[in-house]
Amino acid sequence: MAADSLEALRHEIAACRICRDTPLRGIEHRLPHEPRPVAVISTKARVLIAGQAPGLKVHESGLPFNDASGDRLREWLQVDREAFYDRDRFAIVPMGFCFPGYDIRGSDLPPRRECAPQWRQRVIAAMPQIELVLAIGQYAQAWHMGAERRDNMTETVRAWRAILFSNRSPAILPLPHPSWRNTGWIKRNPWFEQELLTTLRERIKMLVN
């Protein structure tokens, strides 16, 4: 994609107000705050981090993964903040670009349903150079993996070898969300740190320099 049309796409996304002005499920389900889309679209990065949706801290700073989840993700990747926020190294495109707000229990709501149908195909098409997609959590896994996704997130991540080493392009590696909420999951599934992360770090070393 030419630089000017990529810039135009970035501006279109930055100006998006769909979830505020014309939400899919009616005005009573509109975004409870002003939209602030957070995504890093790159024509050079070879790795795409496909996450879920920004949390409040990211919404306030405008910087993706600028929170404890981001610290854990950088530790998984073994990269520092400088490398992580270098758009020539990593593209960062969540399933919903705006912080969706909280549910009644105070947990982040799922990514807005409006976002992926509106933007994702165009954004992915603008980045044909991507070689590896890190599909973080069930929403990114559903969109990027389709029928290759297993019955649940654990089974999908457990099948990481078959998924990563299939012949698809770009390659896909499913990951759990790096949130503290998944600390118990990580402890219960030691193969994740011992095997999957070892391979992930090798790939990152190869693709990000």
CB neighbour class for 82 (10 Å; exposed up to 12, middle 13-18, buried from 19):
exposed
50, 79, 115, 196: residue in contact with ligand SF4 (rule CB under 6 A): 115
Nearest approach in angstroms of CB 77 to ligand SF4 is 25
C-alpha angle 20/102/183, rounded to 5°? 135
Locus of tokens 């758009």:
87
42, 54, 114, 132: residue in contact with ligand SF4 (rule CB under 6 A): 114
Q: Residue 43 phi/psi, 5° resolution? A: -105, 5
Nearest approach in angstroms of CB 7 to ligand SF4 is 17
Does residue 90 sit in helix, strand or coil?
strand
Rounded distance between C-alpha atoms, residue 19 and residue 25, angstroms: 10
Regarding 52 and contact with ligand SF4 (CB under 6 A), the answer is no
Contact flags string 67-86 toward ligand SF4, x per CB under 6 A:
--------------------
Taking the least distance from each CB to ligand SF4, the nearer of 81 and 117 is 117
Q: Residue 180 phi/psi, 5° resolution? A: -60, -25
Contact flags string 16-45 toward ligand SF4, x per CB under 6 A:
xxxx---------------x-x--------
Kind plus residue range of the DSSP H or E element containing 144? helix 137-145
Q: Which stretch binds ligand SF4 (CB under 6 A): 1-9, 112-120, 153-161, 162-170?
A: 112-120
Q: Which residues are at the interface with ligand SF4 (CB under 6 A)?
A: 13, 16-19, 35, 37, 96-98, 112, 114-115, 118
